[in-house]
């Protein structure tokens, strides 16, 4: 079908871009409005604290799963992922 390859390529490009800009992490600590994380798939936690969405740092604790975004080259902890 004409145009199908371009749609498939566009979807793959979008997935690749999102994969680089969105990731899951586990909270290792929080302080003030900042959260320390360990990215899924990494053996060691990140060695720094990142800014969190308003009120999120107070709402999460070590071991909670969060979704992080890369915005303007900086990591922002965006929201808690609730699992049941």
Do residues 53 and 77 lie in contact, with contact meaning Cβ atoms separated by under 8 Å?
A: yes
Do residues 33 and 50 lie in contact, with contact meaning Cβ atoms separated by under 8 Å?
A: no
As a whole number of angstroms, the distance between CA 60 and CA 68 comes to: 14
Among candidates 73, 76, 80, which has minimal Cα distance to 34? 76
Task: Give me the pLDDT at residue 70, please.
Answer: 84
pLDDT along the chain (84 residues), means of 10: 60 59 90 91 90 88 90 83 78
As a whole number of angstroms, the distance between CA 71 and CA 59 comes to: 22
Task: Give me the pLDDT at residue 20, please.
Answer: 61
For tokens 């107070």, name the residue.
58
pTM exceeding 0.85? no
Full set of structural domains in the chain with CATH:
21-80 (2.40.50.140)
As a whole number of angstroms, the distance between CA 53 and CA 58 comes to: 10
């Amino acid at each position: 079908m004409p145009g199908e390859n371009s749609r498939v390529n566009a979807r793959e490009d979008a997935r690749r871009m999102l994969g680089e800009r969105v990731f899951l992490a586990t909270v290792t600590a929080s302080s003030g409005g900042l959260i320390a994380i360990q990215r899924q798939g990494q053996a060691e936690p990140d060695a720094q604290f990142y800014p969190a969405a308003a009120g999120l740092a107070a709402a999460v604790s070590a071991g909670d799963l969060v979704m992080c975004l890369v915005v303007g080259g900086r990591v922002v902890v965006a929201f808690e992922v609730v699992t049941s």
